[in-house]
Amino acid sequence: MKALNLVDYHIHTARCGHAEGEMEEYAARALDLGLKEIGFSDHFPLLHMEDETLSMGLEEMPLYIWEVGELRAEFPHLPVRLGIEVDYLPETAARLPSLLSAYPFDYIMGSLHFVDGWGFDDPRNLDGYVGCDLLALWTRYFELLGDAAESGIFDVLAHPDLIKKFAFRPDADVSRIYRDCVDRVAATGVAIEVSTAGLRKPVGEIYPGESFLRLCFERGIAVTLGSDAHRPGEVGERFAEALLLLRRIGYGEVAVFDARRRSYLELPV
Ligand code: ZN
Ligand code: FE
Ligand code: FE
Ligand code: ZN
């Protein structure tokens, strides 16, 4: 197999309650693919609800961090970063900085899986789409994404247009919504994630879509690359397609992080 000279910065662990496999298997898969570096970014405990099928508990955080450290020792030829995927909700955001500051993260990803209390990307909550005003939903989602960027809590915004996951899209032009959001993100300097996870979801498309990503490129927004792997076989999945998309738009590098300091890795041609 041709080496993928890329990084995968969005990998989960079984601790979240909805992923499978040992961390060693994720790392071994990355080595097999020839990835240059990986980052675990498991779900940070939700602060607004308790659901052990959505995230680990706060008491597990030290173990998660210790296990990433152990993995580094086990895989000396694969740089392994310590990341975390944190839900942004306006009602809990104020509690995050002090909670997160207790851990030695390389990077912190912000995600939106809830819009005004509704876990819109959870297949168990699909009934919320019945009779839903999709234009209002998308407007609110991208407004919250801008809020997340401006919160100053995050280094990267994960899967920026996750709201399209089930392929329910407003029957309207959303370019204005995208532009307003991307302008706000650009002003903060926060990076966005290009995620191949959307390719295995009903929408069948990389997050974010090409028009959104093009706006990001024009505004100078940096990108990270991730698979959102919840099983070892998903590490680096369909990265060739992500690379093509990035190249087509004009991106020549992806952001990588060490102790929350950003640098860049050149994309292979
Ligand atoms: Zn997950
Ligand atoms: Fe997510
Ligand atoms: Fe994730
Ligand atoms: Zn995710």
> What pLDDT, on a 0 to 100 scale, did the predictor assign at position 269?
84
Distance 19 CA to ligand 1 centre (A): 7
Residue 182 alpha carbon to ligand 4 centre in Å: 20
CA of 60 relative to ligand 4 center, distance in Å = 19
CATH dotted code for 7-266: 3.20.20.140
Could you tell me which of 268, 264, 257 has the C-alpha nearest to residue 40? 257
> What is the rounded CA–CA span in Å between residue 142 and residue 25?
35
> Do the beta carbons of residue 254 and residue 224 sit within 8 Å?
yes
DSSP state of 104: -
Ligand 2 center to 116 CA (angstroms): 16
CA of 83 to the centre of ligand 2 (A): 13
Check residue 83 and give its pLDDT.
98
Please give the C-alpha separations between residue 189 and each of 70, 84, 185, 201, in angstroms, as whole numbers.
32, 19, 7, 29
CA distance 269 to 72: 29
CA of 232 to the centre of ligand 3 (A): 13
Phi, psi of 18, rounded to the nearest 5 degrees: -140, 25
The pTM of the whole model exceeds 0.85: yes
The residues near 203 (Cβ < 8 Å, ≥ 6 apart) are: 164, 165, 166, 167
- CA 55–ligand 4 middle distance (angstroms): 11
| pLDDT of 154 | 98
Backbone angles phi, psi at 28, to 5 degrees: -65, -40
Give the closest ligand to the alpha carbon of residue 54: 1
CA–centroid distance, 221 to ligand 3, in Å, is 21
- In the reported structure, the alpha carbon of residue 158 is separated from the centroid of ligand 4 by a whole-number distance in angstroms of 7
> Residue 4's pLDDT is what?
87
Q: How far is the CA of 140 from the centre of ligand 1 (A)?
A: 22
**Residue 124 burial by CB count (10 A; 0-12/13-18/19+): exposed, middle or buried?**
exposed
Tokens of 89: 């909700």
Q: Ligand 4 centre and the CA of 204: distance in Å?
A: 15
Angle at 222 between CA 6 and CA 110, to 5 degrees: 90
pLDDT by residue for the chain (269 residues), tens only, comes to: 578 899 999 999 999 999 999 999 999 999 999 999 999 999 999 999 999 999 999 999 999 999 999 999 999 999 999 999 999 999 999 999 999 999 999 999 999 999 999 999 999 999 999 999 999 999 999 999 999 999 999 999 999 999 999 999 999 999 999 999 999 999 999 999 999 999 999 999 999 999 999 999 999 999 999 999 999 999 999 999 999 999 999 999 999 999 999 999 999 98
Within a 13 Å sphere around the CA of 85, how many CA atoms are in the beta-carbon half?
A: 28
In degrees, rounded to 5, the angle at the alpha carbon of residue 42 between the alpha carbons of residues 35 and 246 is 45
C-alpha 134/C-alpha 163 separation (Å) is 10
Alpha-carbon distance 261 to 56, whole Å?
A: 26
Q: Which protein residues have a CB closer than 5 Å to ligand 4 (ion)?
A: 228
